[in-house]
Structure 1
Amino acid sequence: MRNVADHPTDALGWFRFARQQRRRQLEAGLQVGEWASQISHLVHMLQRERGASNIWLCSGGQLFVREVPFCIAQSDEQIAALRQRLALPDPIINAAIAGRLACALWYLDALPALRSRIQARSIEPEAAMAQFSQSIGHLLSIVPEANDTLDDANLARALTALYSFMQGKELAGQERAIGAMGFTRGDFSDPLRQMLVDRIDGQQRCFGTFIALAAPELAAEFREQGEASREMEQLRRIACTRLPPDEETAGLAVRWFALQTQRLDKLRETEERLIAVLQQAAQAQLHQETENNEPDEAAFSRWVQDHACQEEPAALDRHLLPLVRQQARQLETLTRQLASLQETLEERKVIDKAKSLLIRHQQLSEEQAWQQLRKLAMDQNKRMVEIARAMLSVADLWPITPKE
């Protein structure tokens, strides 16, 4: 807490205070860059583990037998590095960042249990993907919260370009995982196909924001290396229409994963350069502030003259934080949609099992079994899945007489 005696009382005193705060902001900018780099490394490894796990699950443990343990080891290495950093005090961690960190760590703590279920093949790929995506989403959400620690327009602009890019990369990672499921199974259901389309559209919006904010050379690098290749676009069209019956879908899955991984690795390189731009901007301005030995009175006089004729900041710079918040909400919405889809798929499986039970014991047709479940649900004012679960829980005790 600042001492009352140090409280500014005149214009020059407030100017000195402003210079001190600016130095702190620039130092925070350097730390934000370090945080972003650490999170970026961990997210990249979790993205790869998510995609590899999906292929392994969908292939019944036949594909990516060696790749999954390798991905796990890389993820764990980055998780250990994050925990080591968290053991040190960090002035940029405000209440919002601390809350996001708590959620991220909760999901990271749940990773061993998730991996055990994947290894036992006791979890559906959609559920595994949803849990990975929630972990990644909470990690990524730390980056826009750091924008609260930055007042400098150039640093806020660089951070917004970085977060937009990181979010686009995560949607590309989700695209890889979704496509891996469909190609490995040899089928893209309508919900799965819609999820794929949503991720492709989301990437375009995020990368569009990045291009508008980033330096021209970084935007050009993305267009050259980060855009989807022609072969990837062909596989997208196959996934978004219908798989040919004579295609070797396992081969398509491996090829899809390889192409998407190559692209994500290129995106990772650009991401590192964006982080470097943020840190270099903060470092250059901090160096200029530190090396400036101009007396406060002279510096204040020049500062007043410079700002007397300064134009109104561009709307883009003044509204960067709301833009970042909006993009963070979009990613959270897509993650919730994935979890909702998984819940729907699980409920459908329970209902199908109950239908099979009725078909087997009462010799009903599939349509008759469905109608009976529906009638029971309506009579008891309950959801059909609740009736199905109750039916399955006592299936072994039913004294059901086969229908004559």
Structure 2
Amino acid sequence: MRTALSYLVAARRCEIDELGSLARTCDLIRVVSELVHRLQHERGVSNLFLASKGQQYAELRAQRIAATDTSHQAVLHLLDPEDNTAQFSGGARLYTKIALALHALDELQALRQSVSRLQCNPQANTERYKKLVNVLLALIFEAADVAVDPDISRLLIALFHLMQGKEFAGQERATGGAAFAAGCIGNEQKQSLEFLIEMQDQALQRFESFAGHLNREWQALQASMPLAELQGMRRSLLDSREGKLNRALSDQWFSCCTLRMDELHNVEMHIASVLQQLCRDKTSKLQHELDAQEQVLPAFGDPEAFSPLAAFTTQVSPESLRADSEQGTVGPHLTQAVVDMLHVQSARLQTLTEELAQVRTSLDERKLIERAKGILMTHRGLDEESAYRFLRRSAMDHNRRIVEVAQSVLSLSEVLPGPGKP
């Protein structure tokens, strides 16, 4: 029984270590979220700079670049701590995503130079920043997928969907801004806007489904967002006759979209702080329980150390344990107390496992859809937007869920033709 109790204590120590790693991962997510937001601001102003042929927004762009660099350095500092033993949760999977993110960030300077030299247009610039942001979002997704605690995993999933929704909002800002600046909008741009609006709505709905008690604050915050103004300007874009637009609305559109994105970022930062506090609270609780368990170990050889067992069972009194000890044996009371602890620990871990499985269902479905999109992009030569539309249209035509259609595509992936094949 002493061996069983020793391993029970060791298990609790492992949980505390895992939470410590998860807390460091949450710290990383916080600074990555800030970096994504700065990159989105930099992208928006860079598009304005390109649209003006470099005649406007140079100073503002320089400010945005400086802010991005500050956030970038914060990420690098967290990834290169003085304590080299500091670890993040998730092992090889998360570390691979970190490596991919760092590699993508190495390309940022080349991207900026092409903008400074006016060597790309706003659409191409948006796509390049989009790829960089998506690599960082993939890191957030991985952190949510490998989290060992269901409460923390649930909040990380909520944060990921919120950040994804904000990224679609940023792409909408770029698409709409280009249209207003040009004074016209084509059918292809309208379709892209409709797609981005729909994807925003879906992402924010998924955020709400995982936000839990934060939904009340979310609803209150939405009341302060410029949603009515945004909806009105969206109608100007999508319902315009003959595709003509008022160019004077370009700055108003950009400001409106930016204000909304800033408000969404405030929610991101709030979730990040809640995650950090949740890690601290859970670690403190586990440490308290561990301290009590570690006091039990000497009871097997020290008759003075039985009283802490009262923290684990209400059926065993310190007096009865002391009586067992005075007889020089590990009596049935102590044995039963340890067995009770084992059962409580086992039941708690089983509950955590079941809750994690439920939480990760949403992530597993997204993985299927992303893989199916990749198959369609490879075998049918579609872009990401068209691939998603194909899945959605197929789901509607056959009255099925989009994840079911995605699963069908994956099951047929080996027999699908490649680009240019019959």
TM-score range normalised by the length of the shorter chain: 0.7 to 0.9
- Contact 1:100/1:141, CA 8 A, preserved across alignment: yes
Q: State the match for 1:96 in structure 2.
A: 93
Q: State the match for 2:227 in structure 1.
A: 229
Once the two structures are TM-superposed, the CA of residue 244 in structure 1 deviates from its matched residue by 7.6
Q: Which moved more, 1:33-42 or 1:14-23?
A: 14-23
Once the two structures are TM-superposed, the CA of residue 132 in structure 1 deviates from its matched residue by 0.3
- Indicate which of 324, 330, 340 corresponds to 2:363: 324
- Indicate which of 259, 262, 265 corresponds to 2:259: 262
Distance 1:62 1:110, change over 3 A: same
- Indicate which of 66, 73, 76 corresponds to 1:73: 66
Q: How does 1:85-164 map onto structure 2 within 5 Å?
A: 85-88=78-81, 89=84, 90-92=86-88, 94-147=91-144, 149-164=146-161
Once the two structures are TM-superposed, the CA of residue 230 in structure 1 deviates from its matched residue by 0.4
Task: Say whether residues 1:37 and 2:7 are aligned partners.
Answer: no
Distance 1:246 1:171, change over 3 A: closer
Q: How does 1:213-362 map onto structure 2 within 5 Å?
A: 213-216=210-213, 218-226=214-222, 229-242=227-240, 248-249=246-247, 251-292=248-289, 293-295=291-293, 298=309, 299=312, 300=338, 301-302=340-341, 304-305=343-344, 317-324=356-363, 326-327=365-366
- Indicate which of 55, 60, 66 corresponds to 2:48: 55
- Contact 2:236/2:245, CA 8 A, preserved across alignment: no
Q: Distance in 2 between matches of 1:309 and 1:75?
A: 43
Once the two structures are TM-superposed, the CA of residue 123 in structure 1 deviates from its matched residue by 0.8
Distance 1:330 1:84, change over 3 A: farther
Task: Say whether residues 1:12 and 2:51 are aligned partners.
Answer: no
Q: Gaps (5+ residues) in structure 2?
A: 297-308, 313-337, 387-419
Q: How does 1:171-250 map onto structure 2 within 5 Å?
A: 171-216=168-213, 218-226=214-222, 229-242=227-240, 248-249=246-247
Q: Which moved more, 1:183-192 or 1:198-207?
A: 183-192
Letter in 1 for 2:215: A
Query: What is the DSSP-based 3-state SS (H/G/I as helix, E as strand, rest coil) of the residue aligned with 1:215?
Result: helix
Q: Distance in 2 between matches of 1:149 and 1:201?
A: 28
Letter in 2 for 1:98: Y
Letter in 1 for 2:43: R
Query: What is the DSSP-based 3-state SS (H/G/I as helix, E as strand, rest coil) of the residue aligned with 1:222?
Result: helix
Distance 1:243 1:69, change over 3 A: farther
Superposition TM-score, scaled by structure 2 size: 0.70
- Contact 1:26/1:286, CA 8 A, preserved across alignment: yes
Identity score, percent: 26
Once the two structures are TM-superposed, the CA of residue 206 in structure 1 deviates from its matched residue by 1.6
Letter in 2 for 1:221: E
Q: Gaps (5+ residues) in structure 1?
A: 1-7, 345-382, 384-404
- Contact 1:211/1:219, CA 8 A, preserved across alignment: yes
Once the two structures are TM-superposed, the CA of residue 284 in structure 1 deviates from its matched residue by 0.5
- Contact 1:118/1:128, CA 8 A, preserved across alignment: yes
Once the two structures are TM-superposed, the CA of residue 133 in structure 1 deviates from its matched residue by 0.7
Once the two structures are TM-superposed, the CA of residue 271 in structure 1 deviates from its matched residue by 0.7
Distance 1:281 1:245, change over 3 A: closer
Superposition TM-score, scaled by structure 1 size: 0.72
Aligned length: 333
Once the two structures are TM-superposed, the CA of residue 174 in structure 1 deviates from its matched residue by 1.7
